[in-house]
Structure 1
């Protein structure tokens, strides 16, 4: 029986600024990627997000990014592996402390934005992330772009990994995400997004922007909670998956 995890980036509010419909998204997802203060979030938001995840029985994941609040962590930075190792350690350690104080623990780590995309194609940066995660807690699952260098690095480090696919993003012929700056990077039609997800989960392939078939493994599906129809789409997608007898549950170690 097929199964898949539904994850969403959470805790991205900051101070007086609110981003995303977190409380409403928790009912549709099985794992939450909580911002750790570098690209978004702050200490109080982190604690609140951890508490919400626990209340909804959703797995808690750290969502570390580049130190770029203004750019929301989506701008590339010139960083070396040692810096990335320390960034991951700092952010994951912070969220880990909140989870422990609230009587829970971390389930996974998923890098954010530009750091995620950079690690998808850079073995050196991917290894730095994977090694940092492993030394913090080798039981943590590393989420990364399906078939990417980050997945390979996680496997080299001895971590359990989750190949991630995106409901609302298009793909290039090499299996990477179409850059947000390019036309057609985002899928705004919910019917098309659902169709793409079902194809990735059931047929293990996706059609690229060039019209080519790209093999893909879908262990976890990323949903974004910061667009106008996020809550409605999340519910619709979950319903469509369940209608196809696909089990919705969090990724387990060594799965």
Structure 2
């Protein structure tokens, strides 16, 4: 059993760090690197690319809205044209740094409100997917199954990789429990062990209302800003190995 352990990473800014990226990088197989809008900057991006190369971790762009104060989790009144330009700008920035170090950007994973806005408007999702395809048609779109982002990627001819969000609670319809509601973010190691155990054995997750929700993927996402993310990553990694699996970068 091959599992891709994916994490959002490099989400600090300047001297401020939001997670222990150095502890996370050796544990994961693919990384979504913040591109300087919701978090990250040129030096952090450079350091993350170099670290990913050293640990043989696949890298992708993690574009968000330009909202450092709100960590990219607040909707913004911006046009589709502006979001297209934001997306191209951020992917281009990471591609430049990656090329300098002889590394290829392999995927795109929208951050927070950037993704929420795309998932609420199929036309916007389509336009953004066409931007990605125009930049590099080999880029893979990371997303949850059955949402507009997935449909847009498929229409644009992009490959798709579904994600299981290990540290977020699900609702019965497959959407996430909104942040701020009780139990929306999972940060207790024992609860994480239960979720990962169920996912590995049953291929799904128990939703907040007790429903069994199938999730057909072999990629597990962990948010680096979840409290204790390095401990949670070690918990997930050890559980995968205990089950006879391997943590490997995606094909």
- Root mean square deviation of aligned Cα: 1.6
Seen in structure 2, the aligned counterparts of structure 1 residues 242 and 168 have a Cα distance that, compared at 3 Å, is same
Query: Equivalent residues in 2 for 1:157-236 (5 A)?
Result: 157-236=156-235
1:26 maps to which residue? 25
- Structure 1 distance, partners of 2:114, 2:202, is 29
1:116 aligns with 2:115: yes
1:80, 1:125 within 8 Å by CA — same for their partners in 2? Answer: no
1:147, 1:163 within 8 Å by CA — same for their partners in 2? Answer: no
Task: State the TM-score, normalizing by the size of structure 1.
Answer: 0.92
Seen in structure 2, the aligned counterparts of structure 1 residues 132 and 23 have a Cα distance that, compared at 3 Å, is same
Cα offset for 1:228?
Answer: 4.3
> What SS is found at the alignment partner of 1:32?
strand
> What SS is found at the alignment partner of 1:95?
helix
1:201, 1:218 within 8 Å by CA — same for their partners in 2? Answer: no
1:201, 1:217 within 8 Å by CA — same for their partners in 2? Answer: no
2:243 maps to which residue? 244
**Gaps in structure 1 of 5+ consecutive residues:** none
1:167, 1:194 within 8 Å by CA — same for their partners in 2? Answer: no
Deviation >4 Å, runs of 4+? none
2:61, 2:105 within 8 Å by CA — same for their partners in 1? Answer: yes
2:192, 2:232 within 8 Å by CA — same for their partners in 1? Answer: no
Cα offset for 1:169?
Answer: 0.8
